[in-house]
Chains A and B, each alone.
Chain A
Amino acid sequence: MDKLRPEDLDKIADRMKNVMSLRQGAGRAKITVHMGTCGIAAGARKIMSAVLRSMDESAVKDVIVTTSGCAGLCSREPMLTVELVGEAPVKYVDVTEDKVKRIFAEHVVNGKIVPDYALAVGSEQTL
């Protein structure tokens, strides 16, 4: 490793951005992959890998990726929810690895919902 110059500190921080935004729980978007038994059976594990791969390949690093249980619509699994900061969550159904690429590029990076795959905007009411 070469000796650092002051500007190199920012480069290191940039390289580490995915690590730090995860630790601080702050990012432009949150992607939830639903991992109920139904989701896993329908291939949610592959979907998770595809999401992480998309992030590795993208310059966008400040995305929180998480899992949650069954979303209730087992017949349309695998499902994932994308939630941009300040916007309502969007649920995508019948997700495939290829669909993940497009959702990541269009919705997460560019902020445009992919209507072809989306089920609905918003979530059920909770108490």
Chain B
Amino acid sequence: MKSYRTHLMLCAGTGCVSNGAYRIKAALEQELVKQNLQDEVAVVMTGCNGFCAQGPVMTVLPEGIFYQLLAEEDIPYLVEEHFLKGRPVKRLMFTPPAEKAPVPRMSDIGFFKKQRLIALRNRGLIDPEKIDEYIARGGYRALAKALTAMSREEIIEEIKKSGLRGRGGAGFPTGLKWELTAKQPGDEKFIVCNGDEGDPGAFMDRSIVESDPHSVLEGMVIGARAIGATHGFVYIRQEYPLALERLNLALGQARRYGLLGKDILGAGFDFDISVHRGAGAFVCGEETSLIGSLEGRPPEPRIRPPFPAESGVWGKPTCINNVETWATVPEIITRGSAWFSQIGTATSKGTKVFSLVGKVKNTGLVEVPMGITLREMVFDIGGGIQGDRKYKAVQTGGPSGGCIPASLLDLPIDYERLNEVGSIMGSGGMIVMDEETCMVDVARYFLEFLRDESCGKCTACREGVDVMYQIVSDICAGKGEESHIPLLEELGEAVKDGSMCALGGTAPNPVLSTLRYFRDEYEAHIKERRCPAGVCKALITYRIDPQKCKACLLCNRNCPQEAISGEKKKPQTIEQSKCIKCGVCRDVCKFEAVTVQ
């Protein structure tokens, strides 16, 4: 391949693409030609860099200079200054919120510093659409090792010893799952990659497939070899067009190189993978529902046992693992189980990918060693709370996870610790909430989601979640009664007990965990008809503080209801009967004169 002196690794993850990454690419290429640098500087489109909040982002290699929030009009100056004259442009670098000086190098930025990349080992370093770049970074070596130098039993033993547990949420030991499937009688077995990532605010699997699709395929072929599977399926959401495109591209490349299909790497092993696009039902992330959907049946869970390892797709032994689990497998085979198991905690080994979203300053995709504390996640990586407001809670595990309060910020993150405090690891969603988040409203939001997504098979989940949603909605609307709290707790337990799958089994978590840690907020809504965070519209009133009002009339002019009146140069007032509590007055006020109670 032709030599360049600089590679501009421009993020082409979904976040940066929607922020205009391809327009930046065009501008860069045009400007490089203008400066006659097209033979010296190459533009490389990579998968998600992780620092989505600052997109479009770009890393300049070999120096490792990180540019952020790029706009087309910055490009001519950037190309001339940095790529022609060698002077990095400070104003396009990241400046940590609390500091003044920009941090030029990606490796020095707090958001990246604490991360340790295993599943995302190639993110930002390769073009995900080029298999040669994956191979050049050591890709498919683990497969070669597994096919030529290891027996099926040895592969399984290595995964077992590594302590790898399912990254989809339940945390079942991966090696054990492989062993159970391998031991089943029969010639026809399947493996499935679960990429049905339905949690609102979660994008781990999407990013892995977008930034490094071959890592998933390689893991699957290794797994297939160990288990003795003949065919594999990637079940991926239709809503992920970029991931789908790159996955299909990767499958074609792997087939052309003989890494899929007949006689893989000349080692006499046959295996191929097909893609199944999911139609967007949250319940399909549950393995028995996923199997139903794959077979063309309605996606409804069924009772286990038999487990998919015994009877899965079309009744054949089937091993289902999540995208991140498959992507981790090749590294364990290459570097060995001892290397992997030294990372993490006693029961949870290795690293975990999280999508860190919500009220933190640095939102994005991060991979950290198990055992890292919530405090490190929120304050060191996340950079603290937006607007320096007070931290209130973090919700882990997606809609059916729990909310963890400030008193537990030093909790180390692993499967067991999260369960102990009433939450779950889940697939890795992490939503940070601040003092302006109403926990009752949060519970209402997730219940609404789960009520819509319940498949309806189990009465407890179908009816129970709906009733819980109505009760919590009533509390938010100021119609709460004191009997509601014990009723919610009783219902929550009933829904947990009476549901077949994990959707119903975890659906009450948002309510139960907020009742456990934020009961005072429920009580304020019910007894005092007050929303302490100022969110629930039925319980709040906007007022203008006459002491602070400077009579600038900004609120008056912006109110969509014309509810604000007052004479010129006199404090303004809000007519409550007209107010729809949209909050525009508060947003536009420069003197913080509008209060919510």
Contacts and interface: CB of A to CB of B under 8 A. Distances in A.
Contacts of A48: 5, 40
A75 interface: no
Contact of B258 (A3, A36, A55): A3
A66 B62 contact: yes
Interface stretch (A16-24, A87-95, A119-127): A16-24
Query: DSSP class of A's interface residues: helix, strand, loop or mixed?
Result: helix
B437 to A, nearest CB: 41
Nearest to B36: A45
A35 B84 CA distance: 7
Given A3-B258, A13-B135, A56 B2 contact: yes
A68 B86 contact: yes
A59 interface: no
A68 B86 CA distance: 4
B2 to A, nearest CB: 6
Nearest to B263: A3
B40 A49 contact: yes
A3 B266 CA distance: 8
B265 A5 contact: yes
A86 to B, nearest CB: 18
B347 interface: no
A45 B61 CA distance: 20
B62 A23 contact: yes
Residue from the set A12, A13, A19 with the largest chain B CB neighbour count within 10 Å: A19
A49 B136 contact: no
Nearest to A57: B3
Contacts of B297: none
A38 B266 CA distance: 57
B132 A52 contact: no
B135 A66 contact: no
B63 A16 contact: no
A118 interface: no
Contacts of B148: 6
Given A18-B1, A18-B3, A19-B136, A9 B141 contact: yes
B148 to A, nearest CB: 6
Query: DSSP class of B's interface residues: helix, strand, loop or mixed?
Result: loop
Contact of B61 (A22, A51, A69): A22
B88 to A, nearest CB: 10
Given A13-B135, A17-B136, 5 more contacts: A6-B148, A16-B132, A49-B40, A66-B86, A67-B83
B136 A4 contact: no
A35 B133 contact: no
B62 A25 contact: yes
B4 interface: yes
Interface string B468-501: 0000000000000000000000000000000000
Interface of B: 1-7, 9, 36, 39-40, 61-64, 83-87, 125-126, 132-133, 135-138, 140-141, 144, 147-148, 256-259, 263, 265-267
Contacts of B36: 45
Residue from the set B61, B64, B138 with the largest chain A CB neighbour count within 10 Å: B61
A6 B144 contact: yes
Nearest to B2: A56
A37 to B, nearest CB: 8
A4 B85 contact: no
A15 interface: yes
Contacts of B3: 18, 52, 55-56, 61, 65
A64 interface: yes
Given A56-B2, A61-B3, A49 B144 contact: no
A9 B62 CA distance: 24
A46 to B, nearest CB: 11
Contacts of A1: 256-257
A48 B41 CA distance: 11
Nearest to B5: A65
A67 B84 contact: yes
A61 B266 CA distance: 30
Nearest to A6: B144
Nearest to B136: A16
For the complex of A and B, the 3 pairs showing the least CB-CB separation, nearest first, are: A3-B258, A67-B86, A16-B136
A56 to B, nearest CB: 5
B125 A23 contact: yes
B39 A49 contact: yes
A20 B125 CA distance: 9
Interface in A39-55: 40, 45, 48-49, 51-52, 55
Contacts of A35: 84-86
Contacts of A52: 3-5, 39-40
Given A9-B144, A52-B5, A64 B62 contact: yes
Contacts of A16: 1, 132-133, 135-136
Given A12-B132, A56-B2, A20 B137 contact: yes
B81 to A, nearest CB: 10
B133 A19 contact: yes
11 contacts: A4-B265, A6-B265, A6-B267, A9-B135, A22-B5, A23-B126, A52-B5, A56-B3, A67-B85, A69-B85, A69-B87
